[in-house]
Amino acid sequence: MSSITAELLIDLSKIKKNICSLKSLIGKDSNFMAIVKSDAYGHDLKKLIVRIDDIVDAYGVVRLDEAVSLRRHTQKQILLMQGIYDDLEWNIVKDNSINFVVHDPIQFKFLERRYSGQKFWIKVNTGMNRLGISLDDLKKVLKKTHLQNDDVLMTHLACADIPDDELNLLQFANFEKAFSQLNCPIQRSILNTNGIINFPQHAYDWVRGGIGMYGGVHHPDLETAMTFRSQIISIRDIQPGDRVGYGGRQQAKTKMKIANVYVGYADGVPQNSIDGTKVLVNDQYAPIFGRVSMDLISVDISKIDNCKVGDWVVLWGDNISINKFAETNSLISYELMTKISPRVKKIFVEL
């Protein structure tokens, strides 16, 4: 064993497969926008683009600098989802042929300045009450610009992962209202990943797939592309009554064997991970035992055979779902993926 460090293994071929699976859920007439915000949900935007550019129709990001750096690697449509706010940003999107979302009346002034080849994405609030123009203000869009056939009316679902929630029906109905109010044949886009899975009949012209590409939702055809792992750096036998870690949060009831693994909250393990959260040690499940430290976690390996210093411990990856880790700790896979810290070594693998 040389220098021990936590590793993030990334299998880009799995992301490619996941995109194909998501596309197979919707009709051939729908275009697939790959959402690659936050460095492709922690998977490395630049490395990913070259692998998927031939199978996606466009990219979505939220930061202007991400959009600009993306432009150096693709000719496809790039959508800046937070939109723009001032002339400096306007010049940058124009020079780099970046399309942007208009989601607030404060951005209406840019509707009068369409650059050649630009498509507008008009985001309407249908019930999530986060971003989006109200149905009342939507009429004002038409006063500012003549909408074109490849402009897009979009909205975002609040409860796409809860198909029975009545808010979904309200949002679909309001979206239809907004579309008929505009009364022009522009394109439409509603669905994120969970929308694609639960409401494929509402795919329209564009779907916007994010977390599903990376395998961060439960679905039989989607695989998690990242494996987060580190090595055991010390093993200790403890006696009944011994307490472990900060605050002595856990106490041994019997004789136990504890492995200390070189990965902590400074690498991206949530600090409030609860005792009993399962990790994988030599292909066997073992529970976290005691509070997560900055650089270490303690794992109960009393029931694991032949454990030794240097053995790998997988927090999430194949055979140990990131979704399970998230659920156990009342978190979401999005947060786990995007909070892996830069000090973790990224390794690109084809498994």
Asked if 222 touches ligand PLP (CB under 6 A), the answer is no
Q: Which candidate, 233, 265, 266, 229, places its Cα nearest to that of 343?
A: 266
Nearest approach in angstroms of CB 154 to ligand PLP is 7
Say which of 37, 119, 123, 278 is annotated catalytic: 37
Nearest approach in angstroms of CB 118 to ligand PLP is 19
- Looking at the Cβ atoms of 37 and 278, the one nearer to ligand PLP is 37
Asked if 193 touches ligand PLP (CB under 6 A), the answer is yes
Cα 314 versus chain centre, distance: 20
Reading the block at residue 97, the tokens are 């042929």
Asked if 273 touches ligand PLP (CB under 6 A), the answer is no
Helix axes 166-182, 135-144, angle to 10 degrees: 30
Near ligand PLP by CB under 6 A: residue from 192, 230, 298, 333? 192
* Stretch 62-101: interaction string toward ligand PLP, x if CB under 6 A: -------------------x--------------------
Q: Which of residues 6-65 bind ligand PLP (CB under 6 A)?
A: 35, 37
Stretch that binds ligand PLP, among 187-195, 280-288, 293-301, 324-332 (CB under 6 A): 187-195
Asked if 153 touches ligand PLP (CB under 6 A), the answer is no
Q: Would you tell me which residues interact with ligand PLP (CB under 6 A)?
A: 35, 37, 81, 156, 192-194, 208-212
Give the catalytic positions in this structure: 37, 246
